[in-house]
Structure 1
Amino acid sequence: MSKSRIRPYNSPAGGWGALEATGKALVEQGIPASGAATLLRMNQPQGFDCPGCAWPDPKHTSSFEFCENGAKAVAWEATAKRCTPELLAKHTVAELEGWNDYDLEMLGRLTHPMRYDPASDTYRPVSWDEAFSEIGQILRDLSSADQAEFYTSGRASNEAAFLFQVFARAFGTNNFPDCSNMCHEATSVGLPQSLGVGKGTVLLEDFDKADAILIFGQNPGTNSPRMMTSLRDASRRGAAILSFNPFRERALERFQAPQNPIEMASLTSTPISSRFFQVRVGGDAAALKGIMKACIEMDDAAVAEDEARLLDINFIVGHTNGYEALAADLRATPWPAIERASGLSRVDLECAARTYLQAESAILVFGMGLTQHHRGTENVRLLTNLALLRGNVGRPGAGICPVRGHSNVQGNRTVGITEKPTTEFLNRLRDTFGFEPPRDHGHDVVRAIEAMQSRKARAFLALGGNFAAATPDTNATRRAMRDLDLTVAISTKLNRGHLVHGRHAFILPCLARTEVDQQETGPQSITVEDSMSMVHASAGRNRPASEHLRSETAIVAGIARATLGSNPDIPWEHLTADYDRIRDAIEAVFPIFQGYNARIRVPGGFHLTSLARERVWATPSGKAEFAVFEGLDEDPHQDDPEALWLTTMRSHDQYNTTLYSLSDRYRGVFGQRMVVFINQAEMDRRGLHAGDHVTLETISTDGVERAVEGFKVVPYSLPNGCCGAYYPEANPLVPLYARDPQSGTPSYKAVPIRIRRMAQGG
């Protein structure tokens, strides 16, 4: 591990630093040669899909179609390290709880199904049949199917996720908390209200045609590094790129393409952002309203001078509702209030508006910096308003681009992982499988935690993920989970979630994305859907880490058979023997997958139709809807003079809760994670110095004290009134009540806190 230090990083994103980090990751996992060979099969037509982010593959895939963090994700799961029963027998759960998250996962791949033994406080091996039988018996003993929670991670395949929801609904519940509830649920709720679809409206080739790209609350260099190729190409051909983020992320400043020999040899790089706007934490809504206000004022001036309209008035009249109400609200919103709330000047916002108006086509990109707020759904609709003003939906080089996280989080939702199923979907499920599914809405993540707290939930089954680390209000969540009767984790590696367990607990090890999935009819391919609704096949080629591993689909089917028996009569073994049969069933339930099996055999797969991309609006009115955002605050207003708005974020050596190291190269943090970033003015105001150790304390409204000690102060260029810390270390500060009321998305990106200096030596 790197020595603990803070040191400015002056190199561009990507480049030699990325290549060095990739090589180091392969060596650290003991796979320098085999890992390199595995990387050559990633994101290839006959290979496997990256287990990291959901950025789409280009049509003409190169031999090196992977990024630094994708390579780390592959090294992490293709590791030579093994977490065997013998190793786990040496460490009690109490002891492992004291380890950091990095060291837990560095134990390597799980090799055997394991069951918690309370007498020794260790996990011990169990046979698959015993595990399935015991899990099934505990589930059958529940007084109600709604006492079970079925959680999914976005890395699960379409096939596994589909069987998982069939099982849960045949069992009798619609409780489907899933990782999208914590990230882009506001997108899934807000976009249908505005456009009639819950997904983005662009394809990868649109980035080659856009005149302007506006990026809000997204750090592509860390969270979706292959996006940097599209941004680099756009910048080099002269497209304007405007970035709005509290942090001046290195990848949004300049990027050195590791696949470009000229840039690598000459040590040059490409500037990415034409302008960088350091919006304050929670200031995106005000910034968006300011840009739109400037657009309307400039359009009003054009009308007054009898010049050509700057807004796409023909599109607005022909395709939208609500423009006049929006315009009235924007005209009435004073500039000084917008400047205070956004942290940006009127001049800055007018500059952004002018660039946007001059672009013939523009793509609006956003990430969780927009969605993880109290008014996250309204934020998404506000961004969509900006697109509609210029008709930037449903034409080449233009559209809305939400950047999803895990590689198949969007696909999971498409194949039925939702706590709010439609009647049409449930009817098709009934007709396909011959059972009557439950009709009441189930639990999302926050409601699942609340159900655990009130003892209404007694069992928790996780198809991947690290729920105990990823969720908000961490301490309360973990207390509730430890009171459960049953926890089941389908996983590839040991993580924090396995140590926060119920009275009965099982770890069921599954195949990784990189490994051969051999079933009765031969090697199988799974399918995934990327951020732009492209569905394609993925087939691992590596030998499984252990002969005792089973595929996700086989594990789900095994639990289902043991729980349900032959009632209802779903042919679990028949389906898992050949994944084509699962895809036939998906097609029967979801007609959008028509021709599924034939279409995934075409290199690159196929696109799931987006009606909004065709300018067909599946809204009640049949038109795209403008929405008025009342006021300027994305989160509840704070009058406390000591308050700072804390945003949580990933380090560069991290993917969600998975830590590839304890460093964050681009932000100059090495060998440590307990840091809080804050600007010098705010430090001076509080009498703080670089390196001071402090406690972060939530300004709560429910009387519960939420505080985390031991953060080191790191000076960083941020707007006044803001600070930042890493996720999941700062998750205990995010109250369960701090969430978007429409989508349930927790407010990870805006937590009101105070900073207290720790006692010397603390």
Structure 2
Amino acid sequence: MNKEPEQPAAQNPEKFSGLKLGEPYKVAAGVHAVVVAGEHVFGQMPISRGMKALFKLNQKLGYDCPSCAWPDPDDDRSSIAEYCENGAKAVADEAMTKSIKPPFFAENTVADLAKLDDYHISKSGRIAQPMYLPEGATHYQPISWDDAFKTIASHLNGLQNPNEAIFYTSGRTSNEAAYIYQLFTKEYGTNNLPDCSNMCHESTSFALAKNLGIGKGSVKLQDFYEAEVIVILGQNPGTNHPRMLTALQKGRANGAKIVSVNPLHETGLLGFSNPQKFQGVMGINTRLTDIFLQVKVNGDLALIKAIELLLLEEEEKKPGTVFDHDFITEHTSGYLEFISQIKKYELEYLAEVCGISIDQIREVADLLAKKSKIIVCWAMGITQHKNAVDTIYELVNLLLLKGSIGKPGAGTCPTRGHSNVQGDRTVGIFDKPHEALLDQIKKVYGFEPPREHGLDVVNSIKAMYEGKAKVFFGMGGNFLSATPDTNYTAEALRNCDLTVHVSTKLNRSHLVHGKEALILPCLGRTDLDIHDGITQFVSCENSMGVVQMSKGVLKPVSDHLLSEPVIVCRLAKATFGNRSVIDWDKFEKNYDYIRDDIEKVVNGFEQYNQKVRVKGGFYLPNGTRERKWDTLNSKANFNVTELVVEPLAEDELLMMSVRSHDQFNTTIYGMDDRYRGIFNERRVIFMNPADIIKGGFEIGEVIDIYNNSDGRERVAKGFIIVSYDIPRQCVATYYPETNVLVPISSVADKSNQPASKSVVVKLRKSRLFNQPVTA
């Protein structure tokens, strides 16, 4: 009897590295961060290559950091180190000189590679040439670029309907590549353009577009220096946006008060040692947070309502002293309905739901009552819940009450993850494209683009699982590890006839594949891009709407790499032949031609080629900064939200997934999370000490985490209990290890974003490990 071939593992191996515990850090960054950054960079490449990479990182006319989307200063950029520890790690990870060639793939089966954890898969090296996995094969084998494109084109042209293809985009993709990628899909005939924004800030984009008329934040970096109050919710800047700490430090030095709201006392919220300042080098630290609110997981909506209720009470005592009625009257709609609804809530109930004492809530309300220059910042701790859109509505409601949008030192600040995820959306990567964009594409190119909405990430996974989508093309990223419901998603990818990934390095998505699979190796941000004798550059948009040049400086590790724009152009030529109405040869030859066309199609890019060559780039239009509201009623809208509380059973816990400090999204740089005191291990669960005792467990014991959503048991096996300061009935774990527990059906209302930070789970003693793990 023939043995069924082994399916490559979709999850990280259920084994331990050897946990060591330390004390959580009280201060972020400092000289230690510089040392760690240097160890990563110079451990992956020669000193000369590493120095060249670092000196051009985030510099004007240099290249944009491949890590987060925090903006570079418009003026006083450091000429030595305009980057953070995690930015340096990202460069080290991308620009490493180690590469993997055909012998590596010949020696390792796909199933054997999948037995490695994500850290060791990534450390294999840069992919040096296109690789192909034929149907039924156990090893990837080399393939020429021409044959790779012919294979993809054959599958795409063989589909019964263009909507049977899925075209995913990672946030690292440049404006130029993203624009022609979405142009290709529209000429092909589909709007199936899921992207990583669907998983990180789709709730933000939906809510802000409805409230204010633009799905982006309204502040500039300068506003942080002029703010009176900065509120940070659901965000861990010390790990995820470390350069934000400099802006917070400067704002606080100018008199701003900082309010931090988080279930965990994250290091970057508490203190900051700036290694670029003399005080930081000498170990003198800046306290950042003035008021810390340790909210329950997903207690933010109740907290904001409680603050608004107290502000309303004060306004009614002293009319005209708390709310900005001139702003409300001139610029907003829905105020009376909002006030009527907020009065229905009891302060005691709201305090109980959010887990914050009335005295603490009142302290924040008293602070906000006297201020009007208020910035509210948030990240995935807000966006990845079922009620995420309503929570963001409520944050905007609070700002509207205070007139704190559209003036210096005030506004909305959603902090984005990948460094061009916002730019990709701006130039057309969206499964629900705006009619204005489609009209311009028709006007400029002469074909009718599809008007029906396409599939986002969650619906793409469902379509692949159900056999309705047969080809998956991923422009960057690690789709399997980034998405929810790991085993369900793995089965969805396996159901495809072809899976294709444009990548710099090996990741788990290459190992859980369709019947056929391709890996197309591309240039990274750090790489020199010379094509037809011309040194090309691309551009990116940061979290605050600045578009600037990004030009790589390092010799690529292989001569067989292509840039993302060239890959898209050659894919289009192979797919369409002479049927296309677009001059793909022109785009491939010189990216200036791509920018010329972006200028014709996308609002705000006038004189694109000229302005992007100016040091520091240029700001895109943003109506909210000028109090111009691109909404149906041309007003900023209050929204009425309902607080719906789903009670937990006695044996249930609410789990949020988090990054370690040695991680950016799904890329694992190392096995330490030193800010939380976790070393050499990732399979841990952070628990309140009282919950450990109540559950009958011990610190260091190994448990399995599970739930039974949708009538199907999902299990994450083998996690070590760590006692931690976290609210009762709340736990935290690292992703992607626990993405297996996030049901595909658990999404934010209205935005369909996976609710990865409010997962109901239970615990049981592990069936794999009988003895507690000594930490």
Instruction: Report the alpha carbon displacement of residue 584 of structure 1 after superposing the two structures with TM.
Output: 0.6
Matched with 1:167 is 184
Equivalenced residues, count: 753
Q: Quick one: structure 1 residues 478 and 535, their matched pair in 2 at CA, closer, same or farther if it must change by over 3 Å?
A: same
Q: Quick one: structure 1 residues 11 and 36, their matched pair in 2 at CA, closer, same or farther if it must change by over 3 Å?
A: farther
Query: TM-score by structure 2 length?
Result: 0.96
SS across alignment from 1:309: coil
Aligned: 1:211 with 2:249: no
Q: Deviations over 1:419-446 (max 9, x none)?
A: 1112221121122222211111100000
Instruction: Report the alpha carbon displacement of residue 17 of structure 1 after superposing the two structures with TM.
Output: 2.0
Aligned: 1:716 with 2:724: yes
Q: Deviations over 1:215-234 (max 9, x none)?
A: 01011111111101001112
Correspondent of 1:152 among 133, 151, 169: 169
CA RMSD of aligned residues (A): 1.3
Aligned: 1:41 with 2:50: no
Q: Deviations over 1:301-342 (max 9, x none)?
A: 113xxxx52111111111111112211222220122101210
Equivalent residues in 2 for 1:231-270, closer than 5 Å: 231-265=248-282, 267-270=283-286
Whether the 8 Å CA contact 1:691–1:712 is kept in 2: the answer is yes
Report the residue type matching 2:59 in the other structure: Q
Q: Quick one: structure 1 residues 120 and 591, their matched pair in 2 at CA, closer, same or farther if it must change by over 3 Å?
A: closer
Moved over 6 A (4+): none
Report the residue type matching 1:396 in the other structure: P
Matched with 1:729 is 737
Matched with 1:8 is 23
Instruction: Report the alpha carbon displacement of residue 618 of structure 1 after superposing the two structures with TM.
Output: 1.1
Q: Distance in 1 between matches of 2:485 and 2:354?
A: 27
Correspondent of 2:392 among 364, 368, 380: 380
Matched with 2:752 is 744
SS across alignment from 2:140: strand
Q: Deviations over 1:335-380 (max 9, x none)?
A: 2210121010111111111111222311111111111111211111
Correspondent of 2:304 among 270, 279, 288: 288
Unaligned runs of 5+ in 2: 1-15
Whether the 8 Å CA contact 1:2–1:670 is kept in 2: the answer is no
SS across alignment from 2:604: helix
Aligned: 1:113 with 2:130: yes
Aligned: 1:274 with 2:290: yes
Whether the 8 Å CA contact 1:183–1:745 is kept in 2: the answer is yes
Q: Quick one: structure 1 residues 311 and 6, their matched pair in 2 at CA, closer, same or farther if it must change by over 3 Å?
A: same
Q: Deviations over 1:185-224 (max 9, x none)?
A: 0111000111111100000111110011000101111111
Equivalent residues in 2 for 1:526-565, closer than 5 Å: 526-565=538-577
Matched with 1:666 is 675
SS across alignment from 1:43: coil
Q: Distance in 2 between matches of 1:125 and 1:450?
A: 31
Q: Distance in 2 between matches of 1:385 and 1:328?
A: 13
Q: Distance in 2 between matches of 1:491 and 1:454?
A: 26
Q: Quick one: structure 1 residues 538 and 5, their matched pair in 2 at CA, closer, same or farther if it must change by over 3 Å?
A: same
Whether the 8 Å CA contact 1:115–1:123 is kept in 2: the answer is yes
Matched with 1:420 is 432
Report the residue type matching 2:714 in the other structure: R
Query: TM-score by structure 1 length?
Result: 0.97
Q: Distance in 1 between matches of 2:707 and 2:304?
A: 27
Whether the 8 Å CA contact 2:334–2:638 is kept in 1: the answer is yes
Aligned: 1:461 with 2:473: yes
Instruction: Report the alpha carbon displacement of residue 520 of structure 1 after superposing the two structures with TM.
Output: 2.0
Whether the 8 Å CA contact 2:687–2:723 is kept in 1: the answer is yes
Whether the 8 Å CA contact 2:25–2:674 is kept in 1: the answer is no
Matched with 1:367 is 379
Q: Deviations over 1:435-467 (max 9, x none)?
A: 211111100000001101111000000000000
Instruction: Report the alpha carbon displacement of residue 683 of structure 1 after superposing the two structures with TM.
Output: 0.9
Report the residue type matching 2:265 in the other structure: R
Correspondent of 2:618 among 606, 616, 619: 606
SS across alignment from 1:333: coil
Whether the 8 Å CA contact 2:494–2:515 is kept in 1: the answer is yes
Q: Distance in 1 between matches of 2:266 and 2:630?
A: 37
Q: Distance in 2 between matches of 1:616 and 1:27?
A: 49
Instruction: Report the alpha carbon displacement of residue 655 of structure 1 after superposing the two structures with TM.
Output: 0.5
SS across alignment from 2:517: strand
Matched with 1:57 is 72
Q: Quick one: structure 1 residues 148 and 179, their matched pair in 2 at CA, closer, same or farther if it must change by over 3 Å?
A: same
Q: Quick one: structure 1 residues 276 and 11, their matched pair in 2 at CA, closer, same or farther if it must change by over 3 Å?
A: closer
Q: Deviations over 1:672-703 (max 9, x none)?
A: 10100011111111122211101111252x10
Matched with 2:338 is 326
Percent identical across equivalent pairs? 43
Q: Deviations over 1:244-289 (max 9, x none)?
A: 0001000100010011122212x12000000110000010000111
Aligned: 1:491 with 2:503: yes
Q: Distance in 2 between matches of 1:477 and 1:372?
A: 18
Report the residue type matching 2:594 in the other structure: I
SS across alignment from 1:443: coil
Matched with 1:180 is 197
Q: Distance in 1 between matches of 2:483 and 2:758?
A: 15
Q: Tell me whether 12-21 or 121-130 shows the greater mean CA deviation.
A: 12-21
Whether the 8 Å CA contact 2:26–2:270 is kept in 1: the answer is no
Q: Distance in 2 between matches of 1:454 and 1:570?
A: 34
Q: Tell me whether 470-479 or 327-336 shows the greater mean CA deviation.
A: 327-336
Correspondent of 2:98 among 71, 77, 81: 81
Matched with 2:10 is none
Whether the 8 Å CA contact 2:388–2:749 is kept in 1: the answer is no
SS across alignment from 2:711: coil
Instruction: Report the alpha carbon displacement of residue 137 of structure 1 after superposing the two structures with TM.
Output: 0.7
Matched with 2:609 is 597
